[in-house]
Structure 1
């Protein structure tokens, strides 16, 4: 078995890097959606949601950097073009959304997709004994599950 500098199975790490690049692409679309929601939200919930979307896009920007740096740590190259992002992303693109319920629903749908990708990576990183990626995914998932709960409570 060929191993990386970190002592991990090279073939498993290559697969993880590919999956992390898919997650990176989805986060980039999610981030851009949040920026658009922040800019375009209207209505009685404007102040509350304008602030929430800013909080979420700032958080996703940090996660994007963490994901890219993890890919580099695994000795691979993070994707960095919008062509790559749109090709790989499963997160729906939200265009010209200004209504509160539609906006929050998009965020919940996007987070559900991100969590699914992260759970897949969590399983694979566990099998690869990649504690760094495993810990990152675990942290992302637990935080996002709470956000989904709160947003669903808002939608109710």
Structure 2
């Protein structure tokens, strides 16, 4: 068995970096959706939602950077082209979303996809004894679960 310079199994680290690239691609699409709804939202809730969407895209942008840096730390190469993001993402595309409820539902649906990928990564990083990736996924999951709860409350829907 071969170990990398951070003391992890090299083969498992590269497999995790592949999984993190899937997350990166999906986060990039989520980020772009948030930019679009931030720019295009209309209606009586514009002022509140415009600010909230900016908060969410700033957070997503920071997470994109964290994911890419973790991929590099594990010895992988982060995806960095739109072509790669499109080919490797499942988060829905939100095109020309202007209505508040449609925007919030897009966020919930996107976060649900991200949470499923993150849970897969949480399990894989635990098995690989990769506390760095594990901790990052745990933090992402708890934050995003709370955001889903808040968005569902805004929609007056149960989780």
TM range (shorter): over 0.9
1:41-93 alpha-carbon deviations (Å, 9 max, x no partner): 00111111111100000000000000000001001110100000000000000
- Aligned partners of 2:7, 2:136: CA distance in 1, in Å? 19
Distance 1:69 1:13 in 2: 13
**Map of 1:48 onto structure 2:** 48
Q: 1:141 aligns to what?
A: 141
Q: Tell me, yes or no, if structure 1 residue 74 matches structure 2 residue 70.
A: no
What is the DSSP-based 3-state SS (H/G/I as helix, E as strand, rest coil) of the residue aligned with 1:119? helix
Mapped partners of 1:87, 1:50: distance in 2 = 29
Distance 2:133 2:43 in 1: 40
Equivalent pairs, count: 156
TM-score (norm 2): 0.97
Distance 1:76 1:26 in 2: 17
3-state SS, counterpart of residue 31 of structure 1: helix
1:102-141 alignment, distance < 5 Å: 102-141=102-141
* CA distance, structure 1, for counterparts of residue 119 and residue 49 of structure 2: 28
Hey, what's the Cα distance between the residues in 2 that align with 1:136 and 1:9? 18
2:35 aligns with 35
Which 5+ residue runs of structure 2 have no aligned equivalent? Answer: none
- Post-superposition, which runs of at least 4 consecutive aligned residues in structure 1 deviate over 4 A? none
Corresponding position of 2:18:
18
Indicate the SS of the match to 1:129: coil
Gaps of 5+ in 1: none
- 1:6 and 2:10 correspond: no
